[in-house]
Structure 1
């Protein structure tokens, strides 16, 4: 029996627990959004005017999953879908101006979770950790894009 869990399992377990904490924090904030919808709102703001398929790729979700989030966000008036000027069959998505205060609330919820779970980390530890995770994500995305097998 191994004493130490493999890196991948520790990372997966940590991500699952963090996601659950974010879900509970969003519920407690009573913003009326699921974690997936909140995440979609963030990515729509981060990549304004992107096509739905591109947003799904940025988020790492199936297009049909994203469509469900976008349908709800649109029905609540938080996003705007518009025909892509280069391809009228495609839709681009952007944040509705009225949703900016909601996005700020969502980001405040996530900041609160981050501060809570990382309170034992020194600021330089957090900065290094975030940088390392960003590099890991970039590597994994590149490998996936290039079809690199495990």
Structure 2
């Protein structure tokens, strides 16, 4: 049964990304780029390395995404005053209204996905998925500590 749950969660996440990307295609912003923007709104001034770890992509992949977001004038790199080799990442003023639009799009996808569910069912679903995430996160951290 656990394989079925894992498959369902993974397949559902894939379908969420597909629905989100279809709705944002005209803006040129993907679901992964949206995650970068959201993390930057939560962690202004983060370095690229730690951000790559947070969103679980290779640093070179993140670097390319940041390049595109910088070209679109949504993200800016600033020199790290404590390390000449490092860059700190910040959202630009132009990113703020876009983030609002992306959050609305995300909510529209959630509304579509949970159509026909009561508010209580939606809350229960969110709580159960959060518990699964917390369980896996805790186990991943424990394994990383064991190998360190």
TM-score bracket relative to the smaller structure:
0.7 to 0.9
What TM-score comes out, normalization by structure 2 length? 0.86
Q: What TM-score do you get using the length of structure 1 for normalisation?
A: 0.85
Aligned ranges 1:1-150 → 2 under 5 Å: 6-27=4-25, 30-147=26-143
CA distance in 1: counterparts of 2:139 and 2:119, whole angstroms? 30
Choose between structure 1 and 2: higher helix proportion. 2
Q: Are the structure 2 counterparts of residues 142 and 67 from structure 1 closer, same or farther at C-alpha, using a change threshold of 3 Å?
A: farther
When the two chains are superposed, the root-mean-square deviation of aligned CA atoms in Å is 2.2
Unaligned 5+ residue runs, structure 1?
A: none
Aligned residues: 145
Which stretch of structure 1 is more off in the superposition, 138-147 or 78-87? Answer: 138-147
- Structure 1 residues 119 and 94, CA gap change in structure 2 (3 angstroms): same
